[in-house]
Structure 1
Amino acid sequence: MEEGATSRSLLQKQKLDDNEELIRISCGEEDEGLLLQSDQSSSTITVVVVLSTLIAACGSYAFGNAVGYSSPAESGIEDDLGLGSEEYAVFGSVLTIGAILGAISSGKFADFFGRRGAMGAAEMFCILGWLAMAFSKDAWLLDLGRFLVGCGIGVLSYVVPVYIAEITPKNVRGGFTSLSQEYTENLQLISEDGIRHLFQKKYAYLIMIGVGLMVFQQLGGLNGFGFYASTIFESAGCSIKLGTIAAAVVQISMTAVGVFLIDKCGRLPLLLISAAGSCIGCLLTGFAFFLQDLQCGKDLVAMMVLIGVLVYWASFELGMGGIPWIMMSEIFPINIKGSAGSLVTLVSWIGSWLTSYTFNFLFEWSSAGPFFIYAGVCGMGVLFIAKMVPETKKLALEEIQASITVQ
């Protein structure tokens, strides 16, 4: 008995290569082993790590194409296939339905095929989906194609950030993981044992953080601005081409700024600035449409909407776009990682579907209404982040999880 107890507390070292050492800590029956990297390897960045990260982050390119496609293609698809606004709302939102199913099955993919195999399988779903949309002559094939793309990005949304977080050193983990930005999540198949661990009281705080961040990210207007940018600009009398190009430039630029700042300034300050800025962007856009409804300041409406949309995207991409996914890959212990990721991701995709499906109806009811609703959600997000979300900058995964679980 004594010998067995002693063996459970030993540190077992396994050489990985000349520069890195892996330490396994056995913690007994209740807690599973934790993997720690020695300090010597924590700052090592190799060419293989950089290239692997860049290749894995290509999954976000597939995600970005899928999310951004419905906005500029709206008028063309409606004309070619004769779709009404309700049918197009289904087309826009069916992506998230596929993503929910893909997210639920992504853990199974990762278990059977490994991280790389799962990414490859997901890309095949995306390829088939895009081909179906490209050659569709009927609405059902168009929706099927977008559904398949959703399944693919649902799988990618789990695999990409977890893979990157696992292969990168802790001092640059935030920047590397944020390359996959807002559109990657951490998910695994829910198991009976995982559910049992998930609903223990000591993990309630972690679940609140994960679910809360995803709720405020999605219900703060992400898919309203993303899926229906063309509708927003056209209704305001602003050039669609100018607006979409400007928004794309701002998104790319601010994502790069966020990657640079995340490991210097920390997660929490960027989240607070991002949520507050998103709120301001929504208020500006909503106020512009409010003036339009009152037939006041007609010359200012287009400019105010453009500024509001750009402020929203600049703020969102700085923090709320990618950091919630980074936080999710950091805060959950290994024994609940799959179950917690499944729950949080499911909440995120449901919120994504809700926003994308309801925007058209809300916008027809009141052009200013949806943006004021989004502003209120973003404002509540600021309070939630300030009160609930911890700072995880430059902490080892085990240090983050231990400190939060203790709270």
Structure 2
Amino acid sequence: MGIKSNEQKIPLSVSNPLISTINIESHASSIHSTTSSIPPSLILTTLVAVFGSYVFGSSVGYSSPSQSGIMNDLNLTVAQYSIFGSILTIGAMIGAIGSGKIADYAGRRVAMGFSQLFCILGWLTIAFSKVAWWLYIGRLLVGCGIGLLSYVVPIYVAEITPKNLRGTFTAVHQLMIGFGMSLTYLIGAYLDWRVVALIGTIPCLVQLLSLPFIPDSPRWLAKVGNMKESDSALQRLRGRNTDVNQEAAEIKEYTEALQRQKEASIIGLFQSQYLKALTVGVGLMILQQFGGINGIVFYVNSIFIAAGLSKSIGTIALVAVKIPMTTLGVLLMDRSGRRPLLLVSAGGTCLGCFLTAISFFLQDLHKWKEASPVLALVGVLVYVGSFSLGIGAIPWIIMSEIFPINVKGSAGSFVTLVNWLCSWIVSYAFNFLMSWSSSGTFTIFSTICGFTVLFVAKLVPETKGRTLEEIQASLNSYSTKR
């Protein structure tokens, strides 16, 4: 099921023979020559976009270091705090439902700005909460914002970057999530939870105030019929002296053909021509979340304490692993390809969960009491490092690549909703699962991570080095032949 080499001629048709055959080899050499140096405008635009990713990470990372402070100050039980931790994902599901439509009809920039208004209001509500209900409302609002951000940021970055840089630039989304999460862990270890919530508004304001100064997506502008603005945005993103005629013509040709087709609804996604893309997109999101990531990062301090470790040592070690491994994933994304990184990453998360499960199992048997905490630390670090290398970022990258523009809104909303639904299930159930059996919990996660390896090996295509139009045409061609 791999994708054919770049030397072939692939008809860019989405069940539509009207689009002509493009010589991929000459196009690839053209793009390579025009993107040998990265324009500062592309870097700055991407940086503004991924401030939203930082907000995403800080929101996810907030619940772990703040747990003891919030529970003591507001007299919350474990069950009440589980609601606070997991309600973020309820809000994210609400945000995900409308994410595709908002991004399609108002534009990617407006969608990012709209999401930051929710996040700012949510952080302020948390910071000034006196009772649990206000805390829940604030967390819900932040969730609505990051549900929208989790869709629109990787979509926007994928649409503004050339194909030979798309994986690296889109992976910066995950790098900034990791940076936001890690910095919030560290800040939360030393500052009051209310102060940390107020600090959470700063990156929201930075992105909100910067959005008017960056261009919208050339592909979205073409979709809504603003071809002149699309060409202008593309020229700005590629550099003043770069010839963008061929890329602009390809975007226009592909978009015009897609616009002859009806905009697909959620139900329409289940047609045969989209089935391959939908299976890959939804499958990766389900496996990413059921591998346990949000349960682990939401409550990592409690895991370390249960394992007999100092939470401060565990948190510092976690930060020391997460950022370098995410950075390595960014650097390798357009060199090794998506599939190899996914396979290594999923294998590593399987191993990490297995080691952690063994640690808790030995603890239950009262054996190797000195070694089991260290084994738990190693297991969690292997898991988080492996997750950061690939499985954290790549499902979002592939989601941003595989759906044609006429279904991207509906498909993106659906895939993002599935991701956050699975995230809620894991984050809400995690504390209860740990109470049932710590070793059993991590054994379940390890098994799911092992299944992820098989899923990637059998179904996930390689998308490195291909334009969005080529990827989508290949997947649709596959589905049609089936």
TM-score, normalised relative to structure 2? 0.75
Q: CA, structure 1 residues 31+305, in 2 after alignment: closer, same or farther (shift >3 Å)?
A: farther
Q: 1:171, 1:241 → 2: CA distance? A: 40
In structure 1, the partner of 2:97 is 104
1:369 Cα deviation from its structure 2 partner: 1.4
In structure 2, the partner of 1:336 is 407
Q: CA, structure 1 residues 71+196, in 2 after alignment: closer, same or farther (shift >3 Å)?
A: closer
Q: 1:27, 1:201 → 2: CA distance? A: 15
Is the contact made by 2:92 and 2:143 (CA closer than 8 Å) also made in structure 1? Answer: yes
- AA paired with 2:82? A
Q: CA, structure 1 residues 268+111, in 2 after alignment: closer, same or farther (shift >3 Å)?
A: closer
Listed as ranges, the gaps of 5+ residues in structure 1 are: 1-24
Q: 1:110, 1:344 → 2: CA distance? A: 15
1:194 Cα deviation from its structure 2 partner: 3.0
Q: In structure 1, which of residues 224, 227, 239 is the aligned counterpart of residue 310 of structure 2?
A: 239
In structure 2, the partner of 1:291 is 362
1:27 Cα deviation from its structure 2 partner: 6.7
Q: 1:376, 1:241 → 2: CA distance? A: 29
Confirm whether residue 390 of structure 1 aligns to residue 480 of structure 2. Answer: no
Q: In structure 1, which of residues 338, 359, 367 is the aligned counterpart of residue 438 of structure 2?
A: 367
Aligned runs of 1:1-400 on 2, under 5 Å? 39=28, 40-41=30-31, 43-44=34-35, 45-181=38-174, 193-195=264-266, 197-400=268-471
1:197 Cα deviation from its structure 2 partner: 4.0
Is the contact made by 1:286 and 1:367 (CA closer than 8 Å) also made in structure 2? Answer: yes
Q: 1:320, 1:307 → 2: CA distance? A: 19
Q: CA, structure 1 residues 171+297, in 2 after alignment: closer, same or farther (shift >3 Å)?
A: same
3-state SS of the aligned residue for 1:57? helix
- AA paired with 1:154? G
1:239 Cα deviation from its structure 2 partner: 1.1
Is the contact made by 1:165 and 1:173 (CA closer than 8 Å) also made in structure 2? Answer: yes
3-state SS of the aligned residue for 1:137? coil
Identity, % of aligned pairs?
A: 56
Q: 2:269, 2:51 → 1: CA distance? A: 31
- AA paired with 2:169? F
Q: 2:405, 2:108 → 1: CA distance? A: 16
Q: CA, structure 1 residues 142+171, in 2 after alignment: closer, same or farther (shift >3 Å)?
A: same
Q: 1:32, 1:104 → 2: CA distance? A: 33
In structure 1, the partner of 2:239 is none
TM-score, normalised relative to structure 1? 0.88
1:107 Cα deviation from its structure 2 partner: 2.6
Q: 2:355, 2:427 → 1: CA distance? A: 20
Q: CA, structure 1 residues 64+27, in 2 after alignment: closer, same or farther (shift >3 Å)?
A: closer
Q: 1:260, 1:29 → 2: CA distance? A: 35
Displaced runs of 4 or more, over 6 A:
25-29, 31-34
Is the contact made by 1:197 and 1:335 (CA closer than 8 Å) also made in structure 2? Answer: no
Is the contact made by 1:332 and 1:340 (CA closer than 8 Å) also made in structure 2? Answer: yes
1:33 Cα deviation from its structure 2 partner: 7.5
Q: CA, structure 1 residues 130+32, in 2 after alignment: closer, same or farther (shift >3 Å)?
A: farther
RMSD: 2.4
CA-to-partner distance for each residue in 1:286-315, whole Å, 9 max, x for gaps?
Answer: 110011111111101110111000000110
CA-to-partner distance for each residue in 1:251-283, whole Å, 9 max, x for gaps?
Answer: 111110000001000000000000000000000
Listed as ranges, the gaps of 5+ residues in structure 2 are: 1-10, 179-219, 221-261
1:338 Cα deviation from its structure 2 partner: 1.7
3-state SS of the aligned residue for 1:368? helix
Is the contact made by 1:31 and 1:335 (CA closer than 8 Å) also made in structure 2? Answer: no
CA-to-partner distance for each residue in 1:49-68, whole Å, 9 max, x for gaps?
Answer: 01100110111110111101
Q: 2:96, 2:83 → 1: CA distance? A: 20
1:112 Cα deviation from its structure 2 partner: 4.6
3-state SS of the aligned residue for 1:172? helix
Query: How many pairs align?
Result: 378
Which is bigger in relative contact order (C-alpha 8 A, separation at least 6)? 2
Is the contact made by 1:194 and 1:335 (CA closer than 8 Å) also made in structure 2? Answer: no
CA-to-partner distance for each residue in 1:227-263, whole Å, 9 max, x for gaps?
Answer: 0101100111111011111112211111100000010
CA-to-partner distance for each residue in 1:110-136, whole Å, 9 max, x for gaps?
Answer: 245321122122112111111111111
CA-to-partner distance for each residue in 1:134-191, whole Å, 9 max, x for gaps?
Answer: 111100000111000001101111111111111111001000001111869xxx9xx9
1:366 Cα deviation from its structure 2 partner: 0.9
In structure 2, the partner of 1:19 is none
In structure 2, the partner of 1:3 is none
Q: CA, structure 1 residues 196+66, in 2 after alignment: closer, same or farther (shift >3 Å)?
A: closer
In structure 1, the partner of 2:203 is none
Is the contact made by 2:12 and 2:473 (CA closer than 8 Å) also made in structure 1? Answer: no
Bigger Cα displacement from structure 2, 397-406 vs 154-163: 397-406
